[in-house]
Amino acid sequence: MTVETKKTVASATAEIDIEKAQQFMHKVVADCAATVSVTLAVIGDQLGLYRALADMGAVTSAQLAKSTHTSERYVREWLINQAAAGYIEYDTKSGQYSLPNERAAALLDTDSPFYLGGALMIALAMTKAEPRIRENFRTGAGMRWGEHDPYMWEGCERLFRPGYLANLTQSWIPALDGVQAKLERGAKVADIGCGHGASTIIMAKAYPNSHFFGFDAHPASIEQARKHAEDAGVADRVTFEVASSTAYPGNDYDLVAFFDCLHDIGDPANTIRHTRDALAPDGTVLLVEPAAGKHIEDNFNPVGQFYSGASVLVCTPNALATGTEALGTVATDDALAAVVKKGGLNRFRRVLETPINRIFEARI
Ligand SMILES: C[S@@+](CC[C@H](N)C(=O)[O-])C[C@H]1O[C@@H](n2cnc3c(N)ncnc32)[C@H](O)[C@@H]1O
């Protein structure tokens, strides 16, 4: 009797259901294939292959290679992989490949709410951290944000910026009590853990009467944020400085914002304590954190899978390298509320959520 016709078979340790085993094999093969295609997607992005596909319409491998000054032998194989992955289309009659508009939005349009090029970059950067993180499992040591592959930093900006562009000034700030009016009149704002400054610059453009101070512990990110502020023409009202979340300068801030970073910070309660002291008496804290559920099983979906993986490979290691408390990327609302309260802010509420973020307001 062959394996196909039997319902169960004895493995080394136990009897297994063949159909279930085969279903799981398909899943693992699909995961491995997807991991490979993520690497090839980043290559396609960096070499302009997607850009050329979008601009040229239907192309052969020779045409694509010629227009991108790449090797046809590599491009030929890349196209097969990308068509197999469902990222591009293949026409069997003409032998040409194309990139449908909806997929071009996800792969090329960095301003689009559909854009996911940043997620691809981060996913690839995270795989490069595997040797360090594997060792950390044994030692309990950490790994700083700045020790990651640079794709991590650019990928983070590209991942979160479209969401900030679509939501920050349209719905998140208006949802905070009285903050929009202050920003329109002229307010003082700090953006802690600002990374490349995407959120800071979006706010600065929307509220020309206000002044913005971005702080981050990672010098290369601050350098990049300064360049972005110059390019955006807001450098006269936006200052970026290297500073830790527990010691950044300034006081009387009307708004202190934390975009996707409180859970990366190794000393979150002291960060909130310092922020309480830096706030104006009626100031507001805007806390943007990754989407996560109340129960562990609420995170058993692709977004929860991505974020909990990022927690292991990026966020928790940074917290452990720089402090004593790691909230984790999928910290519950209650865990966040507890830290905010410990830091001395008593009013805390979730004001909004998106598929990838939770938005909170905290006040003295
Ligand atoms: C996931 S990134 C988010 C960056 C940015 N806010 C965004 O949304 O694109 C986390 C950032 O927090 C910064 N960070 C981590 N711990 C910090 C600390 N203790 N003080 C200041 N910045 C910190 C990192 O350097 C990194 O730029």
Mean pLDDT of 193-199: 98
How far is the C-alpha of 162 from the C-alpha of 216, rounded, in Å?
20
Helix or strand holding residue 239 (H, E): strand 238-242
pLDDT, average across residues 97-103: 98
Question: CB-side exposure of 327: number of CA atoms within 13 Å?
Answer: 27
Task: Quote the CA–CA distance of 167 and 326 in Å, as a whole number.
Answer: 27
State the distance from the centre of ligand 1 to the C-alpha of 261, rounded, in angstroms. Answer: 5
Q: Predicted confidence band at 140 (pLDDT cuts at 50, 70, 90)? A: very high
Ligand 1 atom closest to the Cα of residue 159 is 9
The pLDDT, as a whole number, for residue 6 is 61
Average confidence score pLDDT of the chain: 96
pTM value is: 0.94
Percent of the chain past pLDDT 90, that is, above it, reads 95
Q: Identify the pLDDT of residue 2.
A: 47
What ligand 1 atom has the least distance to the C-alpha of 261?
10
Which whole number is the average pLDDT over 58-82? Answer: 98
Rounded CA separation 120/357 (Å): 18
Q: Whose CA is nearest to atom 25 of ligand 1?
A: 218
Domains of the chain (ranges, CATH numbers): 8-108 (1.10.10.10), 119-363 (3.40.50.150)
- The predicted pLDDT at position 3 comes to 46
Whether the CB of 160 sits within 6 Å of ligand 1: yes
pLDDT bin (cut points 50, 70, 90) of residue 8 is confident
- Digit-coded pLDDT (tens) for 144-156: 999 999 999 999 9
Ligand 1 centroid–CA 264 distance in Å is 7
From 110, 121, 145, the mutation candidate for ligand 1 (largest count of ligand atoms within 8 A of CB) is 145
User: Distance between alpha carbon 2 and the CA centroid of its chain, in Å?
Assistant: 47
For residue 266, give the ligand 1 atom closest to its CA: 19
**Ligand 1 neighbourhood includes 270 CB (under 6 angstroms):** no
What residues have CB less than 8 Å from 336, skipping those under 6 apart? 262, 287, 289, 327, 348, 360
- Between 3-12, 103-112, 271-280, 301-310, the lowest mean confidence (pLDDT) is in 3-12
